[in-house]
Amino acid sequence: MRALSVFSAKGDEFVPPSSVDFVLPPIFENIPFITKPILLVLLSVLLVSLFFSLSARKAAVVPSKFQFAGELVYGFVRKDLGQEILGHDFKRFMPYLFSLFTFILTNNIFGIVPFLQFPSFSRISFAYVLGIITFGVFHYVGIRKQGIKKYVKDIMFMPGVPKPVYILLTPIEIATFLVVRPLTLSLRLFANMFAGHLLLMIFILGGEHLLQGAIAMKAVGFFAFGMGIALTFFEFLVQCLQAYIFTLLTALYIAGGLADEH
Amino acid sequence: MSKRSDESAIWTILGYLLSGLLFWGGVGYFADRFFNTSYLTLVGILMGMGGGLYLVWLRFGR
Amino acid sequence: MTGTLNLVGYGLAAIGPGLAVGMIFAAYINGVARQPEARSVLQPIAFLGFAMAEALALFGLVLAFVL
């Protein structure tokens, strides 16, 4: 209790981080759209393209370490997300799947890289754009493969149901395919990044604040800092997993469009 | 399908339930506001959930 | 502190379905691991059970906003 009173006597009360902390001010005063997330996305594009073009430029039969690292990532996406899910026709979609995976992964990992420390996908508009692109791709593939009439009919009418029930079911099917699928895809990515960043902010900022307090506070502060470090590793896991899940579901949706049966 | 079909099935189930609730619940909600009643939202939610569960049964349960 | 008790209620209501989903998939994995050829029999049951449990969680979510 005494510690607490000393604490509040200082007059600097702890302000817990909230969603306001995600709205970053523009870097240059007079250009409103250049903010940190935009720059991070551009940096990630640069990094990914540079890394993979360099690692593939001097491709040799006996790979250098650099080439090996590039091929490891590509091989993972190709085998685990391409071949296994899309079957024999997977090569057409590899450029999209691979760039999606590396782009999301790089942007997510920016969340724990020192000095950058902001996952771009905790701004929801970036996640929406990726969701919309995937939405376009898997519907386009489905329509090209089956023809627009059959594709729409397959979506709207589940076989083996008495006719009046379609009034109940058809709106649900349309809502699932046109709204909920891309929405959940982008919301899952956004929510994980947002919550993870918020969690790290709470533990690290709160720990720092506690360390400046009285002696009993300092002990708790150490604990909070330790949790912050442990959660940073946990966040790394979540970030990799989210990039993987986004790409996996994209591949699965494309496979659903390619498959003849519903 | 591949052995990964489980993962997409789970998200598809969630999507069906969610969109059933949102669509028919939304219809019920606006019907409530239109007719100045208060029970249509509940009817809409139950109907949407029933439809969603029925779709899941049609697609995965048979 | 401001907020609504609905959200606390939803948090409590989500415990049950969370446990249920975990138990359903634990049983499903157990079954498939012991007898891989039973997969096609177990899969619809597991998915229907998952749908039922998830339906309760979504009910809670909607009612937290509507009520």
Note whether residue B3 is domain-resident. no
d(C-alpha C27, C-alpha C42), whole Å: 10
Give the gap in angstroms from C-alpha C67 to the nearest C-alpha of chain B.
10
d(C-alpha A115, C-alpha A229), whole Å: 15
Partners of residue A255 in chain B, C-beta under 8 Å: 1-2
Domain C5-66 sits in CATH at 1.20.20.10
Note whether residue B1 is domain-resident. no
Its ipTM equals 0.86
Q: Is A8 exposed, middle or buried (0-12, 13-18, 19+ CB in 10 A)?
A: exposed
Return mean pLDDT, chain A: 84
The domain ranges of chain C are 5-66
Give the gap in angstroms from C-alpha A196 to the nearest C-alpha of chain B.
22
Candidates B3, B5, B7, B11: best to mutate against A (most CBs of A within 10 A) is B11
Tell me if A73 sits within 8 A of A56, measured CB to CB: no
Q: For residue range A210-241, list pLDDT tens digits in order.
A: 888 778 888 888 888 888 999 999 999 999 99
Note whether residue B29 is domain-resident. yes
* Residue A2 pLDDT greater than 60, yes or no: no
Tell me if A196 sits within 8 A of A119, measured CB to CB: yes
d(C-alpha A101, C-alpha A77), whole Å: 8
Q: For residue range A42-93, list pLDDT tens digits in order.
A: 999 999 999 888 888 877 777 788 888 888 888 888 888 888 888 778 888 8
Note whether residue B56 is domain-resident. yes
Note whether residue B18 is domain-resident. yes
Domain that holds residue B20: 8-61
CA angle B40, B44, B45 (to 5 degrees): 120
